[in-house]
Amino acid sequence: MRILRQALILSAVGGFLIACDSTNPFTTNGGTGGTGGTGGGTTPTGDTIPASVAGNVTAVSYSPGSATITVEGINLDEVPFAAVYRRNPALDVPGYQAYTAQDDALDRHVTAFVMQSGNSGAVRGAVVVSGGQFNRYFGGVYYERDNYSPATGQVSYAGRYAGLTNVPGDGGDLIPVPPGIDPSLVPVDAAEVTGRIFLNANFADNSVNGGIYNRVLTDYAVALPDLALIATDIADDGSFSGTVEYSGVVGETIGEYAGIFGGPDAESVAGGVRLNEWDGKGNPLGFENEEEYGVFVLDQCGTAGASAAICADVNPGAGVP
């Protein structure tokens, strides 16, 4: 087990890892929402990302395999408003490339996970979160697309999910702090969440719903509750937004999700999630005031870019769009 910053201790109870003394002091600093693309593609007019999901992020410029990305809107990450983050393969999570920024040992550490769809590359998505410092953290989600035409009937999408939280991570990527620095000045990094996501979309009645499952808070090796993405409308432009609940806990909203379909026949989808809590009703894992931003970039099951194994796992027989 890795040693975690802020003396956050994990203890095994009844075969499960439980977080002790895990009240989290960092709260979001809010944001104004993303309003358009500046990356490899262009978000069509009107596809504004809901402010609740966009958070502080207003744009991300990304090309697969590049050594850097440019992020706009995250406060105090670098000197310019549009900051350059550097590729950091050591922090990659399944399906997503990691990029980070930290100017010096007493500056905020920021992590970004980004991905482009595997079909025509029509959609891209990113989640960006700074580790907490001075009672606040900054973060949000960005996504964009190049083009869009709707699919016909009901189709499914499946793949990987990546999230970042306001809970301190293991600190392994932080620049070492000089001796004698007061602990109240020391930044932390953002703990990561990985998982899988499945969406069903029906373009006849223009609705979408789904779930995020196999969720793990990786820095703590703790399994998290599954999430239900509640049914919501697909707008004429292929955008959507809805609410999130714990799977099996009906009617208690814990966050929002949103996204856009892209490519011919809606071959791909990108979107994001913002959670106001994530460790279960009544805090069974012991976390308090926990928050999360997450991203998903998925290809339609049955298309060339789709994750065949995941599509088959959640939707046996998938292969016919």
Is the predicted pLDDT of residue 124 greater than 80, yes or no?
A: yes
Of 7-16, 38-47, 101-110, where does the model show the most confidence?
101-110
Q: What is the mean pLDDT of the chain?
A: 84
What CA–CA distance (Å, rounded) separates 122 from 116? Answer: 8
Q: Where exactly are the structural domains of the chain?
A: 5-314
* Candidate CATH numbers 1.20.1370.10, 3.30.565.10, 3.40.50.720, 2.40.160.90; the one for domain 5-314: 2.40.160.90
pLDDT tens readout for residues 4-31: 333 332 322 222 222 333 445 566 555 4
- Average pLDDT of span 135-140: 90
What CA–CA distance (Å, rounded) separates 144 from 260? Answer: 8
What CA–CA distance (Å, rounded) separates 316 from 169? Answer: 36
Is the predicted pLDDT of residue 199 greater than 60, yes or no?
A: yes
List residues bridging with 30 in a β-sheet.
none
Q: List the single range of 1-15, 26-40, 157-171, 202-216 with lowest mean pLDDT.
A: 1-15
Which residues fall within 8 angstroms of residue 301, CB to CB, at 6 or more apart? 155, 156, 157, 158, 311, 315, 318, 319, 321
What CA–CA distance (Å, rounded) separates 222 from 216? Answer: 6
pLDDT at 316: 56
pLDDT at 163: 98
Tokens 């892209």 belong to which residue? 262
pLDDT at 73: 84
**Whether 4 contacts 171, CB under 8 Å:** yes
Q: Which of 26, 136, 138 is nearest to 83 (CA)?
A: 138
Q: Write the burial class of residue 16 (CB in 10 Å: 0-12 exposed, 13-18 middle, 19+ buried).
A: exposed
Structure tokens at 230: 């509640």
Helix (H) / strand (E) element for 242: namely strand 239-246
pLDDT tens readout for residues 240-284: 999 999 999 999 999 999 999 999 999 999 999 999 999 999 999
Is the predicted pLDDT of residue 194 greater than 90, yes or no?
A: yes
Percent of the chain with pLDDT over 70: 81
Q: Write the burial class of residue 139 (CB in 10 Å: 0-12 exposed, 13-18 middle, 19+ buried).
A: buried
pTM of the full structure: 0.86
